[in-house]
């Protein structure tokens, strides 16, 4: 099994200073992957910079130019949370290019699966606005490329970052060729992602929002996968699965109040990999989003990659030990809203390990 990864040093040129989304995050990931022997087992995919037409499929010209001009002018703030430095425009273009690189390598059969290890993250960037630490929406760029250049007609985007991917829904929510599913803490930043929001225009019904209460952990996320995400994928029959893989739902992360463990993230990856094998010949690509505790982020990425490689991984951080929120009523309501048959509780499919 060949697993690829896309990384470029340009990502480190996005200088955010004393900010939760700093280069320390990605540096911790790379050092840990190298130290535990995973990096040497991956095929490095040379990253090609996203072309202007790639960005223009999902963002307005005015937005792209604003990021470029602010970056070339020495940097500044897009909003209170979102920093731009002199190297940020290039970093964001390369990060979107890395997401395309992953898609291309998978569709060409160069690798079985792949991971784009990028920063800045992307899923909050809307068609017209950079926000929430995000400049361009890399996974939307990749999905649009796969549909327009990759010859596909159905792409699924699964987002388990702790924050709702408002930008991805804004960009892709009217396209019936895309199934977008977001599992996120609610209410929480950016305030979107209500379960009644299901897409717009021709894409009505193609967005599934799964807002989960604080203190949802491994069992709650696994139950959402079992009862909603996997049946939705079976109905949609994607030709490619892309994952916005944020790890800020980890129980030690400082920016959220969820109870996922490293092993819980491995279980999510396992379920999605099994779905990819069943529905789209194993074609699955991951794009890094959030995760703001460097150690937890490094271990969570490593456990995802070890799952792609089919290898064991020891969760040194362990579970939170805190009681989890009961999400069954939420799950049942969302499944009925989307006309999905509510499956009974299956403890075996909910248990990490």
Name the residues annotated as catalytic: 124
With a CB cutoff of 8 Å and minimum separation 6, the contacts of 71 are 84, 85, 86, 87, 88, 89, 90
Percentage helix, strand, coil for the chain under 3-state DSSP, each rounded to 5 = 40, 15, 45
Note whether 19 and 124 are within 8 A (CB): no
CA distances from 280 to 1, 54, 173, 276 (A): 16, 24, 22, 5
For tokens 């999400």, name the residue: 327
Distance, in Å, from the CA atom of 142 to the CA atom of 133, rounded to the nearest integer, reads 19
Distance, in Å, from the CA atom of 152 to the CA atom of 147, rounded to the nearest integer, reads 5
DSSP letter string, 15-76: --SSSSS-HHHHHHHHHHHHHTT-GGGSEE-PPPPPPHHHHHTTS-HHHHHHHHHHHHTTEE
CA distances from 336 to 113, 299, 330, 339, 343 (A): 32, 35, 10, 5, 11
Note whether 331 and 224 are within 8 A (CB): yes
Kindly give the pairing relationship between strand 43-44 and strand 178-185. Answer: unpaired
Distance, in Å, from the CA atom of 103 to the CA atom of 207, rounded to the nearest integer, reads 21
Q: Both ends of the chain: CA-CA distance in Å?
A: 21
In 3-state terms, what secondary structure has residue 278? helix
Distance, in Å, from the CA atom of 89 to the CA atom of 69, rounded to the nearest integer, reads 9
Cis before 98 (ω within 30): no
């Amino acid at each position: 099994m060949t697993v690829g990864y896309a990384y470029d040093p340009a990502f480190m040129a996005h200088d955010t200073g004393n900010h939760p989304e700093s280069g320390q995050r990605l540096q911790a990931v790379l050092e840990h992957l190298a130290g535990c022997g995973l990096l040497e087992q991956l095929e490095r995919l040379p990253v090609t910079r996203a072309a202007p037409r790639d960005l223009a499929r999902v963002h307005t010209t005015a937005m792209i130019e604003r990021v470029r001009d602010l970056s070339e002018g020495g940097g500044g703030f897009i909003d209170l949370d979102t920093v731009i430095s002199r190297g940020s425009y290039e970093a964001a273009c390369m990060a979107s290019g890395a997401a395309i690189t992953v898609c291309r390598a998978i569709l060409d059969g160069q690798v079985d699966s792949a991971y784009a290890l990028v920063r800045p993250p992307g899923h909050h960037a809307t068609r017209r606005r950079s926000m929430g630490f995000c400049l361009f929406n890399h996974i939307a760029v990749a999905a649009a490329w796969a549909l327009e250049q990759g010859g596909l007609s159905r792409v699924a985007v699964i987002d388990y970052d702790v924050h709702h991917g408002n930008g991805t829904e804004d960009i892709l929510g009217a396209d019936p060729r895309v199934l977008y599913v977001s599992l996120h803490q609610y209410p929480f930043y950016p305030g979107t992602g209500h379960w009644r929001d299901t897409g717009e225009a021709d894409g009505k019904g193609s967005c599934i929002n799964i807002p989960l209460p604080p203190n949802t952990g491994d069992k709650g996320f696994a139950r959402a996968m079992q009862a909603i995400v996997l049946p939705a994928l079976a109905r949609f029959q994607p030709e490619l699965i892309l994952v916005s893989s944020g790890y800020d739902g980890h129980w030690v992360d400082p920016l959220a109040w969820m109870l996922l463990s490293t092993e819980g993230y491995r279980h999510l990856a396992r379920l999605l990999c099994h779905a990819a094998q069943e529905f789209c010949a194993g074609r699955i690509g991951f794009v890094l989003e959030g995760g703001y505790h460097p150690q937890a982020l490094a271990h969570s990425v490593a456990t995802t990659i070890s799952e792609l490689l089919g290898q064991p991984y020891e969760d040194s951080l362990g579970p939170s030990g805190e009681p989890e929120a009961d999400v069954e009523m939420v799950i049942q309501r969302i499944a009925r809203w989307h006309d999905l048959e509510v499956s009974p509780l299956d403890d075996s499919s909910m248990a990490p390990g």
